[in-house]
């Protein structure tokens, strides 16, 4: 079985940190290019679309809650009926 030393782990960690720093620098450069390319006029449609998307998500969440409540209600009603029927047979 191969042995991993503290030095091996430190070397691996250093490589990971170097990659993370390089990735962060790349992301920063992309962010700067995007900021330079976008104007306030470009951002307005994004804001409008984001607001519309938020409304749709809220509507979907509300619909999901309604469906869950309906299913749970049907299950409770069904279980109540089964218990009543079982109680009638036992009594």
| Residues 51 and 62 placed together within one structural domain of the fold | yes
| Residues 12 and 52 placed together within one structural domain of the fold | no
| Residues 30 and 48 placed together within one structural domain of the fold | no
Q: For residue range 41-79, what is the model confidence (pLDDT) as tens digits?
A: 777 777 788 888 889 989 988 888 888 888 888 888 988
Mean pLDDT of the chain: 85
> Domain of 85?
40-91
d(CA 39, CA 68): 44
d(CA 40, CA 46): 10
Number of domain units in the chain:
2
């Amino acid at each position: 079985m191969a042995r991993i030393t503290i030095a091996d782990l430190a070397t691996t960690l250093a490589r990971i940190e170097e990659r993370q720093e390089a990735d962060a620098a790349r992301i920063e450069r992309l962010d700067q290019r995007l900021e330079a390319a976008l104007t306030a006029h470009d951002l307005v449609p994004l804001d409008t679309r984001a607001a519309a998307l938020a409304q749709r998500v809220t509507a979907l969440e509300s619909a999901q809650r309604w469906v869950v409540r309906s299913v749970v209600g049907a299950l409770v009603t069904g279980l109540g009926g089964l218990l009543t029927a079982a109680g009638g047979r036992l009594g």
